[in-house]
Amino acid sequence: MENSKVLVWDVPTRIFHWLLALSFAGAFLTAELERYRDVHVMLGYTVLGLVAFRLLWGLIGTRYARFWSFAYGPSSVLRYIKSLFTRAPQHHVGHNPAGSWAIYALLVLSLLAGASGYAAYNDIGGHWMEDAHEAMANTLLAVVFVHIAGALVSSLLHRENLLRSMITGYKSGKAGSGIRHRHRLIGAALVAAVAAFWIAGPDSLPTSWNPLVHASATKEPSSGRSHD
């Protein structure tokens, strides 16, 4: 019986998720405003840093955060989707097969959006790269909508609030199938790393990554002396 409350998502996975959602939303909202380009770039780097953390955590994290625990082939995805139309939809304690594909797509597209943003910013690839960056970001947005819709449908079909699970970490499952460690310290370290990055600001970055250096280079293209 799957009627116990078990801990499924460790603290770092939950923190990663909500910081990623916030950074992505922020990057999207600031994308078109020249004035906020430095904020946009910082948010984009935050997305890249968070995904890099998640890739590592997918290898060494707790049971349901590990990639092998939600590495499903196309036939599993089809079987899962078919089961949704029956009276006994498959229930997965971790990510379900359909959701897992959306998750891999979100991670890869976040990396591509960030990398193409960096390239466009450094005038690598010219207009083509700017278009590619915008296309990546828009594709990511489309998959985010599918992801949110999927989480909603899945919550309704299983009568289980998945959004709340991503906050509390608990889902229903067989007693004993949960994870044992929350890894609060690693979660705190992730928050601290993101906070330190924002407090240190753009000047903590190498020159080609630094939005302030870019801004002054565009404003004073021929200036050889600093005015301060």
Pattern of binders to ligand HEM over 14-33, x per CB under 6 A?
Answer: --xx--xx--x--xx--xx-
A 10 A CB-CB count for 88 gives 6
Does residue number 144 form part of the binding site for ligand HEM (CB under 6 A)? yes
* Residues between 84 and 103 with contacts to ligand HEM, criterion CB under 6 A: 95-96, 99, 103
* Residues between 164 and 223 with contacts to ligand HEM, criterion CB under 6 A: 165-166
Instruction: Give the number of C-alpha atoms closer than 13 A to the C-alpha of residue 50, restricted to the C-beta side.
Output: 27
Among 162, 179, 186, 190, which residue interacts with ligand HEM (rule: CB under 6 A)? 162
Instruction: Give the number of C-alpha atoms closer than 13 A to the C-alpha of residue 167, restricted to the C-beta side.
Output: 4
DSSP per residue, 26-88: HHHHHTT-GGGHHHHHHHHHHHHHHHHHHHHHHHHS-GGGSGGGG---HHHHHHHHHHTTSSS
> Please, which residue, 34 or 228, has the CB nearer to ligand HEM?
34
Does residue number 65 form part of the binding site for ligand HEM (CB under 6 A)? yes
Pick from 178, 213, 155: which is nearest to 64 by CA?
Answer: 178
Contact 163, 154 (CB under 8 A): no
Among 77, 105, 107, 212, which residue interacts with ligand HEM (rule: CB under 6 A)? 107
Beta-bridged to residue 170, according to DSSP, are: 7
Q: What angle do CA 14, 15, 16 make, to 5 degrees?
A: 90
Does residue number 12 form part of the binding site for ligand HEM (CB under 6 A)? no
Does residue number 123 form part of the binding site for ligand HEM (CB under 6 A)? no
Among 50, 80, 97, 114, which residue interacts with ligand HEM (rule: CB under 6 A)? 114
Kindly state the tokens that stand for 146.
């599918």
Among 52, 78, 148, 153, which residue interacts with ligand HEM (rule: CB under 6 A)? 148
Among 45, 72, 80, 101, which residue interacts with ligand HEM (rule: CB under 6 A)? 45
Binding site for ligand HEM (CB under 6 A): 13, 16-17, 20-21, 24, 27-28, 31-32, 40-41, 44-45, 47, 54, 65, 95-96, 99, 103, 106-107, 110, 113-114, 117-118, 120-121, 130, 133-134, 137, 140, 144, 147-148, 151, 162-163, 165-166
